[in-house]
Amino acid sequence: MTRVRLSVAERREELLRAAVEQIESRGVAAVRISDVASALGVSNALVLYHFSTKEQLVAAAFRHAAEGDLAHLRKLLDRRTTALRRLRSAVRWYAPTGQAKGWRLWIEGWAAALREPALRAVTQDLDRRWKAALAEVIAEGVAAGEFHCPDPQGAALRLTALLDGLAVQLTSYAGGMPRARAQEWAEEALCRELGLRRP
């Protein structure tokens, strides 16, 4: 079978997608350059041409996944509706839904970031941008008089910390907590942070 010749940007994109899939299925520690190469039917040398080490490949793969998630978050938060509706949409989308592949990827990334400085920089940047986006919409809602929140940055931090913790519980410990309860707690936390009575 003849492979289509891709541009450098297209090839890099293809390698990053394959790396994300391999990390999701094998985990950061177990994934190898050869796994990514084999998944695409290319040589190890081609992967190493674009990413000179496994650590660079893993960090770039996480950044690639993060940018996709942030683009989706931005789409939800940029809709033409109330700040409260946009926040609810973002929290529902972010909230853990059980054995989701996306959450397994991020839990793997957080664990590996403890030992990998390049990956730590990627996960910290994602975390900072995520919280900033939520805090911005909370501040918009306060300015519009939709709800009251004296500390939008603190509220964004507390909400994401709760959601991250629930994700670990639901993803790592199957059957430990009903998904409906996690969603209920996320809604309660949002209402509490915004000074709203729960519907």
| Burial letters 29-42, b for 16+ CB under 10 A, else e | eebebebbbebbeb
pLDDT band at 1, cuts 50/70/90?
very low
pLDDT tens-digit series, residues 40-73: 999 999 999 999 999 899 999 999 988 888 899 9
Concatenate the DSSP letters of all residues of the chain into one string: -PPPPPPHHHHHHHHHHHHHHHHHHH-TTT--HHHHHHHHT--HHHHHHH-SSHHHHHHHHHHHHHHHHHHHHHHHHTSSS-HHHHHHHHHHHHS--SS-HHHHHHHHHHHHHTT-HHHHHHHHHHHHHHHHHHHHHHHHHHHTTS---S-HHHHHHHHHHHHHHHHHHHHHSTTSS-HHHHHHHHHHHHHHHHT----
Structure tokens at 90: 């973002």
Residue 75 to residue 61: CA distance in whole angstroms: 22
Q: Is the pLDDT of residue 3 over 60?
A: no
Q: Which residues contact 58 (CB under 8 A, 6 or more apart)?
A: 19, 23, 28, 31, 112, 116, 118, 119
Amino acid letter, residue 147: F
Q: What is the pTM of this model?
A: 0.83
Q: Is the pLDDT of residue 169 over 70?
A: yes
Residue 192 to residue 178: CA distance in whole angstroms: 21
